């Protein structure tokens, strides 16, 4: 669904996490950055995905990866989600959908026969120079870390 392709320069995003700290692409130069977009904090699929990433966080760190979760939840919801499951990575509270739209993951979805607009669960792996190295649109929530780390 996204307009971005492997090899493209990643959007120069600016997002604010659950504690009010800002994050932008430039902060991660020299690291591989995993930006994972998820529909809603504290829902079963999103919890499974984020917990799998948490459980393999040391593997990510030892391979020079940083992780950044993004949804349209507010900072309080993101903070509660992060604290409840003890995530070691920040969660961007993108209520105005600026980051979400810059990556092109907002659009029409279907659930139980109803159509609505929402976030398409998608993960972008950005290389040390800020280029998109991989896009995962078929996220397997329970084993997502293996899709990234191989």
DSSP-assigned beta bridge partners for residue 22: 16
Whether the Cβ atoms of residue 124 and residue 35 lie closer than 8 Å to each other: yes
Instruction: Pick the catalytic residue from 46, 66, 68, 148.
Output: 46
Q: How many helices (H) and strands (E) does the chain have?
A: 5, 9
Whether the Cβ atoms of residue 12 and residue 24 lie closer than 8 Å to each other: yes
> 51 catalytic, yes or no?
no
Q: Which residues are catalytic?
A: 46
């Amino acid at each position: 669904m996204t307009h971005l392709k492997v090899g493209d320069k990643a959007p120069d995003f600016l997002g604010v996490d659950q504690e009010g700290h800002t994050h932008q692409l430039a902060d991660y130069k020299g690291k591989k950055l995993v930006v994972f977009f998820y529909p809603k904090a504290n829902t079963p699929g999103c919890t499974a995905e984020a917990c799998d990433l948490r459980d393999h966080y040391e593997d990510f760190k030892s391979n020079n990866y940083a992780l950044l979760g993004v949804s349209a939840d507010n900072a309080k919801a993101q903070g509660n989600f992060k604290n409840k499951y003890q995530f070691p990575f920040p969660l961007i509270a993108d209520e105005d959908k600026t980051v979400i739209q810059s990556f092109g993951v907002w659009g029409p979805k279907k659930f139980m026969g109803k159509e609505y607009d929402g976030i398409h669960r998608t993960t972008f792996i950005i290389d040390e120079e800020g280029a998109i190295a991989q896009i995962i649109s078929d996220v397997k929530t329970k084993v997502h870390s293996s899709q990234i780390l191989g």
